[in-house]
Amino acid sequence: MSFLDTLRQWDKAVTCVERQDLSEALRIFLSIKEPNSKICFDIGCLHLLNQSLDAAEKAFDCSIGKDEHLAVAFFQRGITFYRKKRYEESLADFQHAFKRLRGNQLIDYKALGLTYKLYACEVLHNMALAEAQLGNWEKAQENLVKALDYKTDAKLNIIDRALQSTLKQKIFKPVEFPSKVLFKPNKHYVAELEKKDYLGKAKVVASVVPQDDFSGFAPLQPQVEDGPTRPKEPEVLRALEGEPHTVLFEFVPETSDELAVVPGNIVFVLQKGADNWASVIFNERRGLVPYNYLERLEISLASKQNEGITEPPTRAPPTRPERKQGLTPSDSSGHIQRKDAQPTDNSCIVKVRFTFNFAVSVPPGSPYAILIEKISKKLNLPSTAITLSITSEATGQSVISADTEMESVWSCASGGRITLWCNTKEQIDGKPKNEIHLVALHSYESSNPEDLNFHEGDTITLLSKVNQDWLEGQCNGNTGIFPASFVEEVPVNKQ
């Protein structure tokens, strides 16, 4: 099924849902061959409405398999497992959803076509509920206390009521996804599905031939005598901005900022990024297209009239390049909004001095387990590899451990703030962390404040691994994250 056919069926199914015709909508969705992750998510939601839990689980499995970063799909599958009373699997999915929030207060899916905001405090609320169903009441309370750090005014009452229920060891209700809220196709693409008659009907406005009172097309009539004997000069194709390129392969967009093109289209490249994505203009619309799908078009004044666009190649298109998304907050039309870094009235700010400085927020008087969990998640290291102390030198009296009387530690806080020192002997790939150095294979420049800019040949000190594709490091006195593919490790004998 082509991309346009998929769009038509997707839009038709969503319209059926708006008319309350859920059975017809589900039939249309299931007729779509090779659905994307959003369509699989919509199918799972309709199965949940019909109480078809097994079918819903399979649909959400498909959605996650096609997009493992879709946090709301993990959240919905967690709800499905909870209804099936498979609480351990439900808890795991809620944990996956929370991890993909990456410390943000919420994810707004409006830009992707879903009118829904996934709140971190609601995910933690359901994690606590799953722990409660498993009889882990202390862990349930810890998750709800953590949810207070991500709370919003509108969600505060839900957390408070759940916390009161856990104190009484009573089960509370889960936070569920709203019914009949589905991913919708891009409205700009849907608008292009309608056929438009750009030519209309021809009509003679003025003519020297009296009989030229027809409408429509007819053979050419002589208008003036002694017409031009020299043929017109061919028109020159010019681009107002950008460089002209020919599209070699069909490209099907997966996000709202990508542009659909087919072989033979001529696009104008405005900017080529380091990740092999190009910002182009096509039909007065801007978007992103993989640069390896394009070929530069040389346009000259002496181009032949009979030269046409070459036939598109028959080989398979190249691999779609990965897009390196930054971590900057978005505006009202973006995907992610950052959590406010200001302390709340009922929290204590702990400033941690490490190879780089950072801060975490914990409830005042928190036990050691909550404090070390916050810091270990920030460093992406196990808590057993971290040593905390209240002074710069980790002596026997200043070291903080599970046996430490935390009241004496919190008594050192002033104005809701306290400074601690952190040391670690964690190893990465069998080597001490402070001995790992990297060399930049390519220059990396980004406007994101969390990113680390460097030039080719610079030496970078590795601080932590964010994930498989991103690392955190220091270079030229600056700290930030950067793509792992831009660097390589310096051998030990060269350090």
Q: Where are the domains of the chain?
A: 3-187, 238-300, 348-425, 431-494
pLDDT at 207: 55
The arithmetic mean of pLDDT across residues 10-24, rounded, is 90
Confidence of residue 439 (pLDDT cuts 50, 70, 90): very high
The arithmetic mean of pLDDT across residues 156-169, rounded, is 84
The arithmetic mean of pLDDT across residues 120-137, rounded, is 92
How many CB atoms neighbour CB 262 within 10 A? 14
Q: Which of 157-166, 315-324, 327-336, 424-433 has the highest mean pLDDT?
A: 157-166
Q: Provide CB contacts within 8 A for 342, sequence distance 6+.
A: none
pLDDT at 132: 93
Topology (CATH) of 431-494: SH3 type barrels. (2.30.30)
Confidence of residue 77 (pLDDT cuts 50, 70, 90): very high
pLDDT at 415: 79
417-424 and 348-353: which strand pairing?
A: parallel
Confidence of residue 416 (pLDDT cuts 50, 70, 90): confident
Confidence of residue 300 (pLDDT cuts 50, 70, 90): very low
Better-scored residue on pLDDT, 153 or 171? 171
pLDDT above 80 (res 155): no
pLDDT above 80 (res 443): yes
Q: b/e per residue, 306-317, with b = 16+ CB within 10 A?
A: eeeeeebeeeee
Residues 234-273: pLDDT tens digits?
444 444 467 899 999 888 887 778 888 888 888 889 888 8
Closest residue by Cα to residue 130 from 187, 90, 80, 184: 90
Cα–Cα distance for residue pair 336/99, rounded to 1 Å: 14
Q: Residue 419: enclosing H or E segment and its boundaries?
A: strand 417-424
Mean pLDDT of the chain: 78
The arithmetic mean of pLDDT across residues 314-319, rounded, is 64
Cα–Cα distance for residue pair 348/412, rounded to 1 Å: 12
Residues 184-233: pLDDT tens digits?
888 777 666 665 555 666 665 655 555 555 555 545 555 545 544 444 44
How many CB atoms neighbour CB 417 within 10 A? 12
Domains 238-300 and 348-425 share a fold: no
The arithmetic mean of pLDDT across residues 388-393, rounded, is 82
The arithmetic mean of pLDDT across residues 55-68, rounded, is 92
106-108 and 117-119: which strand pairing?
A: antiparallel
The arithmetic mean of pLDDT across residues 314-340, rounded, is 48
Q: b/e per residue, 147-185, with b = 16+ CB within 10 A?
A: bbbbbeeebeebbeebbebbeeeeebebbeeeeeebbbb
pLDDT at 89: 94
Better-scored residue on pLDDT, 226 or 174? 174
pLDDT above 50 (res 359): yes
Closest residue by Cα to residue 459 from 477, 485, 446, 447: 477
Confidence of residue 34 (pLDDT cuts 50, 70, 90): confident
pLDDT above 60 (res 484): yes
According to CATH, what is the number of the domain 348-425?
A: 3.10.20.90
According to CATH, what is the number of the domain 3-187?
A: 1.25.40.10
The arithmetic mean of pLDDT across residues 133-155, rounded, is 84
238-300 is classed CATH 3.40.50.300: no
Confidence of residue 493 (pLDDT cuts 50, 70, 90): low
pLDDT at 63: 92
pLDDT above 50 (res 326): no
Beta bridge partners of 119: 106
For the chain, the straight-line distance linking the first and the last C-alpha, in angstroms and rounded, comes to: 55
In the 8-state DSSP scheme, what is residue 286?
E
The arithmetic mean of pLDDT across residues 151-160, rounded, is 73
pLDDT at 76: 92
Where do the H-state alpha helices sit in 103-152? 120-133, 137-147
Flag the least confident range among 177-181, 229-233, 321-325, 385-389: 229-233
Closest residue by Cα to residue 11 from 187, 194, 258, 260: 187
pTM summary value? 0.43
Q: Report percent pLDDT > 90 for the chain.
A: 22
